[in-house]
Chains A and B, each alone.
Chain A
Amino acid sequence: MSSAETNAAARIRVRGLAKRYGAFEVFRDVAFDVGQREVVTIVGASGCGKTTLLRCLDGLLPADGGEIWIDAQRLAAPIAGVAMVFQHFGLFPWKTVYDNVAYGLRMAGASREEIGRRVPHFIALVGLAGFEQAYPYQMSGGMQQRCGLARALAIDPAVLLMDEPFAAVDAQTREILQFELLRIWEGKPTSMIFVTHSIEEAVLMGDRVFVLKGRPSRVAETIAIDLPRPRTRATLRLPRFAELRERVWSTLMSEARQAEFQLSGG
């Protein structure tokens, strides 16, 4: 990926990123680029700092070293054009679907007319038409996350950050939402960083899979996913899909052994 470093088309550039909580180093020396229409998925064992990394990329957490650039802007706090989809949806329970989706636009100072035009469009895009006046507590987890997705998409982000967005919904809903997200992304490809526990999901979604490993963790492996797009349910049946899934799996599993060697080696 050395060509990516000089690639002017990279939307996200991360250099030497480090984060610690007190004496505990979460990650160190994290560096990568993400293209303008590229999906990068991040996998790693629980507690390896995937979500922490994503929160740094959203500007919610200050990094302790290194730099994050989004286009020509160095990130220090949340910036316009970057939207996050939260693991537990992060919907405001006192707002209707309509008002939740409008929230990002309102905070960005959009005009009433623009909100009135964009919000129904994105509610329809995620399949929630007819539920504008529903409250989150009246909806299933899958519907709530559709709403969270619409809220993020409504501000027309150049970068989408997905924090295990489908981890809190049941398996069937998860599959439906994966293909919905792929369909929506194909309609308007953007930079997307997608954190997940699921290897299958990582391979299905990503152009590249980053494997976070070690203590402190870093991007130990980058696996290019050369599956054709658009990706559909048929993608899951490709022999190549199974191969890539095995590769990501064995890369993740080798960590346990490596850690053992590091310990005995001192």
Chain B
Amino acid sequence: MVDSTMPVDPAAAVGKNARAGDALVARLIAGAVILCGWEIVVRLSAPAFVAKPSTIAMAIPRVLVDPAFLASAAATLAGVVEGLAIALVVGTIIGLAIGRSRLVDVTLRLYVNIFYALPMLVVVPLFALWFGYTGAARLVTVVFASVFSIIVNVADGARAVPQEYVEVARSFRAAPLRSLFDVVLPASTPYLLAGLRLAAGRALIGAVVAEFITAVSGIGYFILYNSRTYHESEAFVGVLVLAGFGVGFDSLVGWCTRRFLPWYRRDRGA
């Protein structure tokens, strides 16, 4: 990687490490305060089945080896990844078309904005009717939840492609359709990844909402079932795993940005 070969000012590096260390300490203290507060309040004033950090911590090893839980987690993760993949392909194509064609823009923009603003909760019962109380309903919900943020971002990116790139492509007689994927798409990838980041969060919400409503097995349903049967600590482990998915996906997109778009930022910043 380019970064590792660059000279680093040692004083600056030490300063940076010190700052990172300070931030870590502050974070840990804040986390400990929240957990202690939670523990104390629950112990003093709530019935025994209410989840508190100590019981959740004890539930973690139990839940994480439970085959039923692992199957649920895998089902949700697979649904989210599959849905995101579909949304990525469909959303990119529609977004490019909206961004580069006035006709497509005026035709579709209104509907994209309407669906983007629509709470996904209200469409899940319809999807459940159309696709049955199955994984298919969850998949469609995930696609619906995530595709519009990708469309909106890719369209913005495609519209913001520097005119110079488009002229170079025309000057070298590139076919317009080819330029769409050869010039406009790579120039829009920073927007695409920003859209994917948003989409991933919405996709997780979509999957959980679909499981709540259709009772398809997955982490969402696992949480719902356990909280209704007074296994609150187990339910919270499911919440933690979901949060882990969210953070993991966010880091993955961030890593992709640094790995595959080294030209971005530096190109305009420095």
Contact = CB atoms under 8 A, between A and B. Distances in A.
B262 A104 contact: no
Given A83-B171, A107-B174, A137-B263, A90 B165 contact: yes
A103 B172 contact: yes
Interface in B245-270: 261-264, 266-267, 270
A78 B172 CA distance: 7
Nearest to B171: A84
Interface in A25-59: 55, 58-59
A21 interface: no
A155 interface: yes
A59 B170 CA distance: 9
B170 A78 contact: yes
A60 B171 contact: yes
Contacts of A88: 164
B270 to A, nearest CB: 8
A93 interface: yes
Given A78-B173, A108-B173, A94 B168 contact: no
Interface residues of B, number: 23
Interface string A59-79: 110000000000000000011
B209 to A, nearest CB: 37
B201 interface: no
Mostly, the A contact residues are: loop
Interface of A: 55, 58-60, 78-80, 83-84, 86, 88, 90, 92-94, 103-104, 107-108, 135-138, 155
A160 to B, nearest CB: 12
Given A60-B167, A135-B262, A93 B173 contact: no
A137 B262 CA distance: 9
A135 B263 contact: yes
B112 interface: no
Nearest to B178: A107
A152 to B, nearest CB: 9
Nearest to B261: A94
A136 B263 contact: yes
Contacts of B266: 137
A107 B178 CA distance: 9
B171 A137 contact: no
B75 interface: no
In the complex, which of the residues B2, B172, B261 has the most CB atoms of chain A within 10 Å of its own CB atom?
B172
Contacts of A59: 171
B183 interface: yes
A266 B263 CA distance: 55
B186 interface: yes
Contact of A90 (B168, B173, B186, B264): B168
A84 B170 CA distance: 11
Nearest to A90: B168
Contacts of A108: 172-173
B167 A90 contact: yes
